[in-house]
Copies of this chain bind each other. A is one copy, B any other.
Amino acid sequence: MLPTYEQKLWMYEHMLISRYFEEQIEQIYLEGKTPVFNMANGPIPGEMHLSNGQEPTAVGICAHLTPEDIVTATHRPHHQAIAKGVDLNKMTAEIFGKKTGLSGGRGGHMHIFDPAVNFACSGIIAQGLGPAVGAALSRKMQGKEGVAVAYMGEGAANQGAFHEALNLASVWKVPVIFVIEDNAWGISVAKAESTAVGDNSLRAVGYGMPGHMIPGNDPIAIFDVAGEAIARARRGEGPTLIEIETSRLAGHFMGDAEGYRPAGELDSLKAVDPIPTMRNRLATEHGLTTSEDEAIAGRARKKVDDAIKFARESADPAPEEAFEKVFA
């Protein structure tokens, strides 16, 4: 199922929004953290996991989704959230810990919840898999439209929750797609040192579901495979497992010196950065002009800048709001 030019442009634009967003966050995160790097300081305290390089996995999947579809995302959620249509202003404010944030600053960067577009994420590896199965079950039971997509890293595919959720989804034949973002690393541990198979999609056999491995960090190939899988789920034919080769162009989290990365790896990854690759492809295959490209980039930048402005200008929560919303 190949994307139309329009869909490709949508994907490209959201890749740009995501990348610009991360670049802005990266800068702002460092405010107040130099010369001494202390996570507790600056306008964005705490851990920060950037998604640079992984944009294809977000847009290739989410291009097929409507707000009614469900996404459970990871500790590295920005690209996924942006592609799913999470309100960028409120999400940015959340990352800044502001009162106008999605949760009023309670959750922060690893806890982005936007029920308006059925998006959730978590700081616990593989925690979203069971909930995705449950949300898919809910749709099936309520006879409502909607598929669920559970994102995870390749490291997460070794968690017990992976096994249980895939089995349950298959037994119950619910509309859920399990998407592994294989960026080759789980913090400092390489995939080969943690995973008994090179290709996690092989594991689909153990759950009686189709499995696909998509090499090349290619949004169009992802769109293609995801389209079939999601259509299949919408037809009531059950879950699919997809592993996507992607690349982590930053440290695991900000502050990670990445001493464990083999020399040269980062450079060779940057050489195949999916964003210029996509841009070139749009130019050569569809004749995207520089001015068209600049217009897209400009829109993307503006969206991000507006969100950051919104976040910066928003007020902090009152301290005692910490005590609210523990219960509904």
Contact = CB atoms under 8 A, between A and B. Distances in A.
B158 A167 contact: yes
A202 interface: yes
B163 A158 contact: yes
A160 interface: yes
A208 B203 CA distance: 10
Interface string A190-205: 0001111100001101
Contacts of A160: 159-164
Binding site of A, secondary structure by majority: helix, strand, loop or mixed? helix
Counting every copy of the chain, the complex holds 2
Given A202-B206, A206-B206, A171 B195 contact: yes
Contacts of A163: 158-160, 162-164
A20 interface: no
B206 A197 contact: yes
A170 interface: yes
Contacts of A44: none
A86 interface: no
Contacts of A168: 158
A148 interface: no
A209 to B, nearest CB: 7
B159 A171 contact: no
A166 B207 contact: no
Contacts of A207: 196-197
A237 B128 CA distance: 35
Contacts of A196: 166-167, 170-171, 206-209
Contacts of A194: 171
A58 to B, nearest CB: 26
Interface string A234-275: 000000000000000000000000000000000000000000
A206 B167 CA distance: 13
Contacts of A206: 196-197, 202-203, 205-206
A161 B162 CA distance: 11
Interface in A74-128: none
Given A163-B163, A167-B158, A197 B202 contact: no
B193 A197 contact: no
Given A196-B207, A196-B209, A202-B205, 10 more contacts: A158-B163, A158-B164, A158-B167, A160-B161, A160-B162, A170-B196, A171-B196, A196-B206, A202-B206, A203-B205
15 contacts: A158-B167, A158-B168, A159-B164, A160-B163, A163-B163, A163-B164, A167-B195, A167-B196, A171-B195, A196-B207, A196-B208, A196-B209, A197-B207, A205-B205, A205-B206
